[in-house]
Structure 1
Amino acid sequence: MALSIFMLILILGSTISARKDLDRLINGEAAQFMQFPHQVYYLKYITKTGWVHPCGGSIISKRIILTAAHCVSDKFKYLLIFLGKTNLDNEYEKGQQCFLLGRSRVIIHEEFDGHTLLNDIALIKMRYDIKFSEFIQPASLPMEELDYVNQTAVVSGWGSIIHDYNPKLHVGTKQLHHLNVTIISNEVCKKLVQEMVPAKPFTEAFICHRPTNGSPCNGDSGGPLILLDGSRTLVGITSHGVRGCDRYSPGIYTRISSYLGWIAKYENDTNFKR
């Protein structure tokens, strides 16, 4: 269901402006308006806590948004999805669209493991077509046969700025941020990861960025890892870090090319409830 700005304000009240843990990528930069038209911001409604911002997502078609499974695996009731959003303080941001969806619109990968974060991918199927514009555009899916090693990519989101597990120490900002990273091979990533956490499971369905002076953090999960070559190719979904938000360890993402068949299965499913 598409929502007018007036209805949105009635639903949210002061939820967005009152949030103090809507922070940003560690050492990221502020995004420009319209810089990431594929980026999705969403809130979920949980009966006991109200509206919370768990994660981000990526538009890949008129009906499909991809996010991380761990973001939507709990018992929430509704999702409030914002498209074309950059600044959360701007309720009247030009070109934005907003939709309210029920829990039944979310499909979590059947083999998702919340402990190991294997198969950390979920799909949100819109009830109606997204209206594309200069403000809202889909990302492109990657080629299955390419590994994208050594290519520069960009991760974006509204996640935490401080590497700390105490949310009271988070420094909030309402502006979408982004961080450029370099993709490394799974062989190199696995070695780095298991040097730090020897027992951690590692799969070819991961894709990693090289340790750098920056990192995605809490609130960035589910968001896009996009090639920085102008193609807007979505190569990963922000999943997790080796040691939380440690900026000196590899960032681990769900490799989109490993799930192209799974995505197509639900994208083309005419039996999926409207």
Structure 2
Amino acid sequence: MALLKWQIIFLTFLLYHLNDEVASEPIKRIVNGSNAVAKQFPYQTFLYTFKNYEWYATCGGVIISSRAVLTAAHCIADNAVAFIIFIGAVNLTDSLEPGQQRVIVKRSYVVVHPEWDEFQLINDIALIKLPVEVHFNEYVQPAKLPNPKHLYENEMGVVSGWGNTESSNTGSAILKYYVVGVLPLDECATILKELRGSASIVPQSYICLKPSDSSPCNGDSGGPLAIKNPDGHSTLLGLASFVVGACETNKPSVYTRVSSFLSWIKNHTDISG
């Protein structure tokens, strides 16, 4: 009981200092994106990481159930102590924003894919098990998991996040988004080969975005590529993994294809079907 009491005190201390830091530190955002509004992306989350006795604005994430959030594996630092998951937020600096929820999560609640390879940048996915159930409402809703038989090539999706607006450390606390097409894998491989100057093998677990005048950037990692369904809900296609160049536009961006990891996701959650 004493140990639990001290854990609660410690996590409360972390949250108190996070509120101070969020209010004073500029948040990075997406390159050439539009401002989002409340309820537009109810599945979107943001992670703050506590490590080395400091808070760091880290990555995006996606709600997939009342007790689970997906993000990128490279967002989870080995020396992380805890995370604050922002849910239902548009303005990260506004703790009184309608619909905004914040959940404290210890590092032990995070499952990183066992085959994550930081050098080859494959299997870049992690699952955060929430210690409490998220309250769903008009501001907060889970994204649906994708159809594993559908590649979604040439379909239009939407990317959202709080990453840089340009290759700098300045930005806004407001959620950004842009609409983009899904690039066929063979075309993605061709473009990556030209840009990197070497043969680029694009695994099936990648999903690439078509080059456009907008781009995800630092701070957008782990955030969603999603499509809107006729019923008004959204389906999660990918998680932001890496970009080619320094957040440059008109170059493809690479996401982790969520449909490649459905069995792994279901093994670690209560999601079925």
TM over 0.5: yes
Residue 81 of structure 2 is aligned to residue 82 of structure 1: no
Amino acid at match of 2:117: D
1:89 to 1:13, Cα distance in 2 relative to 1, 3 A: closer
Q: Secondary structure at the match of 1:129?
A: coil
2:39 alignment partner in structure 1: 34
Amino acid at match of 1:235: L
Residue 269 of structure 2 is aligned to residue 267 of structure 1: yes
Rounded to whole Å, the distance in 1 between the matches of 2:112 and 2:19 is: 30
1:246 to 1:115, Cα distance in 2 relative to 1, 3 A: same
1:171 alignment partner in structure 2: 170
1:75-123 per-position Cα deviation (integer Å, ceiling 9, x unaligned): 1100011111101232201121111111001100000011121000000
1:234 to 1:159, Cα distance in 2 relative to 1, 3 A: same
Residue 50 of structure 2 is aligned to residue 45 of structure 1: yes
Q: Secondary structure at the match of 1:192?
A: helix
Aligned equivalent of 2:149, options 140, 145, 149 = 145
Q: Bigger CA drift: 170-179 or 57-66? A: 170-179
2:260 alignment partner in structure 1: 258
Q: Secondary structure at the match of 1:267?
A: coil
Q: Give the deviation of 1:10 after TM superposition.
A: 2.4
Rounded to whole Å, the distance in 2 between the matches of 1:46 and 1:176 is: 24
Aligned pairs for 1:1-274 (under 5 A) are 10-20=16-26, 22-48=27-53, 50-162=54-166, 164=167, 169-197=168-196, 198-229=198-229, 230-268=232-270
Rounded to whole Å, the distance in 1 between the matches of 2:13 and 2:142 is: 26
1:148-174 per-position Cα deviation (integer Å, ceiling 9, x unaligned): 011110010000011x3xxxx332111
Could you tell me whether the CA contact under 8 Å between 2:110 and 2:129 is conserved in 1?
A: yes
Q: Give the deviation of 1:8 after TM superposition.
A: 8.0
Rounded to whole Å, the distance in 2 between the matches of 1:268 and 1:95 is: 25
Could you tell me whether the CA contact under 8 Å between 2:189 and 2:200 is conserved in 1?
A: no
Rounded to whole Å, the distance in 2 between the matches of 1:170 and 1:82 is: 21
1:122 to 1:217, Cα distance in 2 relative to 1, 3 A: same
Q: Give the deviation of 1:47 after TM superposition.
A: 1.9
Could you tell me whether the CA contact under 8 Å between 1:152 and 1:228 is conserved in 2?
A: no
Q: Give the deviation of 1:146 after TM superposition.
A: 0.1
Cα RMSD, aligned residues only: 2.1
Rounded to whole Å, the distance in 1 between the matches of 2:66 and 2:128 is: 11
Could you tell me whether the CA contact under 8 Å between 2:50 and 2:56 is conserved in 1?
A: yes
Consecutive unaligned residues of structure 1, counting only runs of 5 or more, are 270-274
Q: Give the deviation of 1:7 after TM superposition.
A: 7.8
TM-score by length of 2: 0.90
Rounded to whole Å, the distance in 1 between the matches of 2:180 and 2:43 is: 18
